[in-house]
Amino acid sequence: MLGRKKYSKLNIEDQILEEVSKEMNAHNTFEAVNVAVNLDGTEEESDPYFNGLGPFRKKCIECAGCMVGCRENAKNTLDRNYLWFAEKLGLQLHAETKATKISFHENLYHIETKQTTAFFQVRRKSSRPGVL
Protein backbone atom coordinates (compact mmCIF):
# COMPACT_ATOMS: atom_id res chain seq x y z
CA MET A 1 0.00 0.00 0.00
CA LEU A 2 2.96 2.36 0.46
CA GLY A 3 4.28 1.95 -3.09
CA ARG A 4 7.97 1.72 -2.35
CA LYS A 5 10.86 2.02 -4.80
CA LYS A 6 14.58 1.30 -4.62
CA TYR A 7 16.55 4.51 -3.95
CA SER A 8 19.17 4.73 -6.69
CA LYS A 9 21.76 6.93 -4.98
CA LEU A 10 24.26 6.06 -2.27
CA ASN A 11 24.68 8.94 0.16
CA ILE A 12 27.57 9.17 2.62
CA GLU A 13 25.77 7.14 5.27
CA ASP A 14 25.01 4.45 2.69
CA GLN A 15 28.65 4.39 1.61
CA ILE A 16 29.73 3.90 5.22
CA LEU A 17 27.29 1.01 5.62
CA GLU A 18 28.61 -0.51 2.40
CA GLU A 19 32.19 -0.31 3.72
CA VAL A 20 31.11 -1.97 6.97
CA SER A 21 29.41 -4.75 4.98
CA LYS A 22 32.69 -5.34 3.11
CA GLU A 23 34.67 -5.45 6.36
CA MET A 24 32.22 -8.03 7.71
CA ASN A 25 32.45 -10.15 4.54
CA ALA A 26 28.76 -9.53 3.97
CA HIS A 27 28.87 -7.22 0.96
CA ASN A 28 26.57 -9.56 -0.94
CA THR A 29 23.80 -8.56 1.49
CA PHE A 30 24.26 -4.82 0.98
CA GLU A 31 21.79 -2.97 -1.23
CA ALA A 32 20.20 0.45 -1.50
CA VAL A 33 17.14 0.99 0.65
CA ASN A 34 13.55 0.94 -0.53
CA VAL A 35 11.73 4.20 0.09
CA ALA A 36 8.05 5.05 -0.09
CA VAL A 37 8.70 8.27 -1.98
CA ASN A 38 7.84 9.47 -5.49
CA LEU A 39 11.33 9.68 -7.00
CA ASP A 40 10.23 9.96 -10.61
CA GLY A 41 7.85 12.07 -12.59
CA THR A 42 7.11 15.74 -12.91
CA GLU A 43 6.37 18.70 -10.65
CA GLU A 44 2.88 17.44 -9.84
CA GLU A 45 1.12 14.45 -11.33
CA SER A 46 -1.64 11.99 -10.74
CA ASP A 47 -0.71 9.22 -8.35
CA PRO A 48 2.03 7.07 -9.90
CA TYR A 49 1.44 4.10 -7.58
CA PHE A 50 -2.20 3.14 -8.08
CA ASN A 51 -2.84 3.71 -11.80
CA GLY A 52 -3.55 7.39 -11.21
CA LEU A 53 -6.45 6.68 -8.82
CA GLY A 54 -4.77 8.05 -5.70
CA PRO A 55 -4.12 11.65 -4.68
CA PHE A 56 -1.85 13.95 -6.71
CA ARG A 57 1.87 13.70 -5.92
CA LYS A 58 4.93 15.82 -6.38
CA LYS A 59 8.38 14.57 -7.22
CA CYS A 60 10.81 14.24 -4.31
CA ILE A 61 13.25 17.18 -4.14
CA GLU A 62 15.61 15.21 -1.87
CA CYS A 63 15.47 17.70 1.00
CA ALA A 64 15.61 14.88 3.63
CA GLY A 65 12.44 16.19 5.26
CA CYS A 66 10.85 12.76 4.89
CA MET A 67 12.40 11.73 8.18
CA VAL A 68 10.13 14.14 10.05
CA GLY A 69 7.33 14.59 7.52
CA CYS A 70 7.40 15.38 3.83
CA ARG A 71 6.41 18.97 3.10
CA GLU A 72 6.47 18.37 -0.66
CA ASN A 73 3.68 15.74 -0.94
CA ALA A 74 6.12 13.19 -2.36
CA LYS A 75 6.16 10.62 0.45
CA ASN A 76 3.63 7.83 0.67
CA THR A 77 2.04 7.70 4.08
CA LEU A 78 -0.90 5.97 5.67
CA ASP A 79 -3.12 9.05 5.29
CA ARG A 80 -2.10 9.63 1.67
CA ASN A 81 -2.64 6.06 0.55
CA TYR A 82 -4.61 3.58 2.63
CA LEU A 83 -6.86 6.02 4.48
CA TRP A 84 -7.30 8.22 1.40
CA PHE A 85 -8.70 5.25 -0.56
CA ALA A 86 -10.79 4.08 2.40
CA GLU A 87 -12.43 7.50 2.72
CA LYS A 88 -13.11 7.55 -1.04
CA LEU A 89 -14.95 4.23 -0.53
CA GLY A 90 -17.09 5.64 2.29
CA LEU A 91 -15.02 5.18 5.46
CA GLN A 92 -15.80 7.66 8.21
CA LEU A 93 -12.57 8.30 10.04
CA HIS A 94 -12.75 9.38 13.69
CA ALA A 95 -9.33 10.66 14.71
CA GLU A 96 -8.19 10.45 18.34
CA THR A 97 -10.90 7.90 19.06
CA LYS A 98 -10.59 4.43 20.58
CA ALA A 99 -13.14 1.68 20.06
CA THR A 100 -13.89 0.28 23.52
CA LYS A 101 -16.46 -2.33 22.49
CA ILE A 102 -17.62 -3.81 19.19
CA SER A 103 -20.51 -6.25 19.06
CA PHE A 104 -22.58 -7.72 16.24
CA HIS A 105 -26.29 -8.40 16.48
CA GLU A 106 -29.39 -7.73 14.39
CA ASN A 107 -27.11 -7.62 11.29
CA LEU A 108 -25.32 -4.51 12.56
CA TYR A 109 -22.02 -3.75 14.25
CA HIS A 110 -22.56 -1.78 17.44
CA ILE A 111 -19.53 0.31 18.35
CA GLU A 112 -18.76 2.12 21.58
CA THR A 113 -15.94 4.65 21.45
CA LYS A 114 -14.22 7.26 23.57
CA GLN A 115 -11.97 10.18 22.70
CA THR A 116 -8.35 9.59 23.59
CA THR A 117 -7.11 13.18 23.91
CA ALA A 118 -9.96 15.13 25.47
CA PHE A 119 -9.83 16.06 29.16
CA PHE A 120 -13.42 14.92 29.56
CA GLN A 121 -13.57 11.81 27.40
CA VAL A 122 -16.59 11.94 25.14
CA ARG A 123 -18.16 8.52 24.72
CA ARG A 124 -20.25 7.64 21.69
CA LYS A 125 -22.33 4.72 20.48
CA SER A 126 -23.12 4.01 16.85
CA SER A 127 -24.34 1.18 14.65
CA ARG A 128 -23.08 0.34 11.19
CA PRO A 129 -23.53 -2.46 8.64
CA GLY A 130 -19.74 -2.87 8.43
CA VAL A 131 -16.47 -1.85 10.08
CA LEU A 132 -12.83 -1.73 8.95
Q: What residue ranges do the domains of the chain occupy? A: 5-88, 97-128
**Alpha-carbon span 110 to 130, nearest angstrom:** 10
The amino acid sitting at 20 is V
Given a cut of 90, whether residue 48 has pLDDT beyond it is no
Q: Give the single-character DSSP code of 86.
A: H
The whole-number average pLDDT for the span 30-37 is 89
Q: Is the pTM higher than 0.75? A: no
Cβ atoms 74, 37 nearer than 8 A: yes
Give percent above pLDDT 70 in the chain.
Answer: 98
Give the least confident one: 43-52, 59-68, 83-92, 104-113.
43-52
Give the burial class of 122: count Cβ atoms within 10 A of its Cβ; 0-12 exposed, 13-18 middle, 19 or more buried. Answer: exposed
**Confidence label for 33 from pLDDT (cuts 50, 70 and 90):** confident
